[in-house]
Amino acid sequence: MMRRLRDVRGSWAATQEYEVIKSDYWTELTNEETELITALQNASSRPDTDTIGLDSIVAHADPYRTLYVERGEVVEDLGEELVVAWDHWRNESKKTDRYFRDELRFWQPQ
């Protein structure tokens, strides 16, 4: 409990120190840097519609895998991993597999 309290106090002190120097720091930035930071902050506050998630239609991202041209649907979102049901596995005993988001891409008809 005491360690958490120290961590919180340390974080609070760092936040306060940042707020004190923030204006000095921002005045040293170029217009281009300021615009880039603002654009990144705005982009991070919007929901990302280009993120693969539940019900997304996907293919494998690796062009050297046979699943690169196959169509699948994300049927479960496990946080870091996604469960994909592949269309061509419908008649097989194994119908799904787990993947990290960066292993998948949005499916595009050939």
User: Each residue of 17-64: pLDDT tens digit?
Assistant: 777 777 787 888 888 988 888 887 776 665 555 788 899 999 999 888
Spatial separation of the C-alpha atoms in residues 103 and 99, rounded to whole Å: 6
What is the Cα gyration radius of the chain? 22
Spatial separation of the C-alpha atoms in residues 85 and 14, rounded to whole Å: 46
- Nearest Cα neighbor of 102 from 73, 68, 60, 65 is 60
Whole-structure pTM value? 0.53
User: Each residue of 74-102: pLDDT tens digit?
Assistant: 999 998 899 999 998 877 887 889 999 99
